[in-house]
Amino acid sequence: MRAALVVTGLILTASGALAHNDHGHHHHSHGEAQQEKKGHHGNGGHSHDHKHDHDHDEGSLGAHVHGQANLQLALEGTGVDLFFSSPAVNLLGFEHRPETDAQKEALDKAMNYFREMALVHPANGDCQVVSATVETPLADADFEGSHGDITVSQTLECSSALAGSRVQANVMTDWPDIESLQLQWLGDGGQGSQELTQGQQQFRP
């Protein structure tokens, strides 16, 4: 049922994020539940003094705006299906194919994080990743672009239901260059949307 909710209610609205990258995407799948790990992941010191909008209206879902990311959730009981997209610069400090060893390491760390770490969890509980898929054109050897996104699909199993509870978007804690998270959800408690910031990382779906 959750997958159906995603397809009918959320992922269709995220097609703009996928369409933005018309290059081939590199697929990474993670099929086993992983133990949640704690820790801070930076982006190598890259900072943003202003936002950039590339060929999209700045407020639109799926727009490539530096400092902004998008997260959609389908909730059913203690289960969650989610779709996350962000300009790579928010996570890596660059958006081209990695050239140096440090850049390659930064990309590998980000890919591993999104395979293993639940992007949200109940404020008083946790979630485990059941499966995850991470895509980015930056991992393709023939990618020559200067603007690329990282997109993530996760299926989670949580210690308690998210609907009606306070939920922490720890993806913002772990990636502080995400200044704004455009959030949408659909599930047991209905549907809604909210903008999260570094100063407000919790919501109640």
Whether 161 contacts 167, CB under 8 Å: no
CA 46, CA 95: separation in Å to the nearest integer?
Answer: 12
Dihedral angle of Cα 137, 141, 144, 146, to the nearest 10 degrees = 50
Give the CA angle between residues 11, 74, 25 to the nearest 5°.
35
Whether 54 contacts 147, CB under 8 Å: yes
Structure confidence at residue 148 (pLDDT): 83
Structure confidence at residue 96 (pLDDT): 80
Q: Buried b vs exposed e over 56-86: b needs ≥16 C-beta within 10 Å? A: eeeeebbbbbbbbbbbbbbbbebbbbbbbbb
Side by side, the strands of the sheet bearing 79-87 are: 26-30, 127-136, 149-158, 79-87, 68-76, 180-187, 190-197
CA 111, CA 107: separation in Å to the nearest integer?
Answer: 6
CA 119, CA 137: separation in Å to the nearest integer?
Answer: 21
CA 153, CA 159: separation in Å to the nearest integer?
Answer: 20
Structure confidence at residue 145 (pLDDT): 60
Structure confidence at residue 29 (pLDDT): 41
- Find tokens 């660059």 and name the residue: 94
How long, in residues, is the chain? 205
pLDDT in tens, the chain (205 residues): 454 444 444 443 444 433 344 433 444 444 433 433 334 444 444 433 434 444 433 334 456 677 999 999 999 999 999 999 999 999 999 888 888 999 999 999 999 999 999 999 999 999 999 999 999 987 776 767 666 889 999 999 999 999 999 999 999 999 999 999 999 999 988 999 999 999 999 999 9
List Cβ neighbours of 157 (8 Å cut-off, separation of 6 or more). 33, 78, 79, 80, 127, 128, 130
Task: Sort strands 68-76 and 180-187 into parallel, antiparallel or unpaired.
Answer: parallel
Among 154, 150, 132, 146, which residue's Cα sits nearest to residue 25? 150
Strand, coil or helix: 87: strand
